[in-house]
Amino acid sequence: MTLLLIGIVIFAGVHLLAMLLPGARDGLRERLGEGPFKGLFSLVSLIGLGLMIYGFYTTRGTLEPGDYLYTPAPWTRHAAMVLVLLAFIFLGASHGKSYLKLWLKQPMSIGFGLWACAHLLANGDRPGVILFASILAIALLDIILSTMRGKIPHHEPQLKSDVRAVIIGIILYLIFLFGFHPYVLKLPIVA
């Protein structure tokens, strides 16, 4: 669980610093340049994310009875699947000029928040709760701060962007459902 926690600290840390200290973030972006800044931010985020995924993965099969904080109700699995599908569609809507993006205002953070909520519904083990609650907290904070700062989309919506978001969301959902979860995480969802 140590790697999971280190990954969360790195991933959350870089995101929290960027959200809570926009002046420092913008100053670093100016000194490095847009491309190198985005590259560095992405690299640090990916390292944190990789440690989170690997750290979470290493907890599978090692959990003791005391590591289960709650037992999810049977219906939560189905609710989680619907929420994850919506989350991927919202992530798809974060790119382009869709009606969804205008309506949601913060589609990427809402998508990650829904994804985290879905996993909190369907998992009651301590490592899962720590992982998904931290992602939910980052997403909620980003939604609040971005909205307060007026960082919302302003564009002429195009229906083709909405169609693209739905198609991308469904494709990502199927990849995660039938590929990533069962073969990478070794946690099949569909029995």
**Model confidence over 79-136: pLDDT tens digits?**
999 999 999 999 999 999 999 999 999 999 999 999 999 999 999 999 999 999 999 9
**pLDDT at residue 61 in the model:** 82
**pLDDT at residue 191 in the model:** 55
Q: For 155, which DSSP code?
A: -
**pLDDT at residue 22 in the model:** 87
* Separation between Cα atoms, residue 94 and residue 146, nearest integer Å: 14
**pLDDT at residue 180 in the model:** 87
Average of per-residue pLDDT across 66-91: 95
Q: Whole-model pTM? A: 0.89
**pLDDT at residue 190 in the model:** 67
Domain boundaries, the chain: 1-59, 65-191
Query: Comparing 19-23, 101-105, 165-169, which segment has the lowest mean pLDDT?
Result: 19-23
For 34, counting Cβ atoms within 10 Å of its Cβ (0-12 exposed, 13-18 middle, 19+ buried), the class is exposed
Does the pLDDT of residue 155 top 70, yes or no? yes
CB 49 within 8 A of CB 11: yes
Percentages (nearest 5) of helix, strand, coil residues in the chain: 80, 0, 20
CB 92 within 8 A of CB 173: no
pLDDT > 70 in the chain, percent? 99
* Separation between Cα atoms, residue 81 and residue 77, nearest integer Å: 6
- DSSP for 100-154? HHHHHSSHHHHHHHHHHHHHHHH--BHHHHHHHHHHHHHHHHHHHHHHHTT----
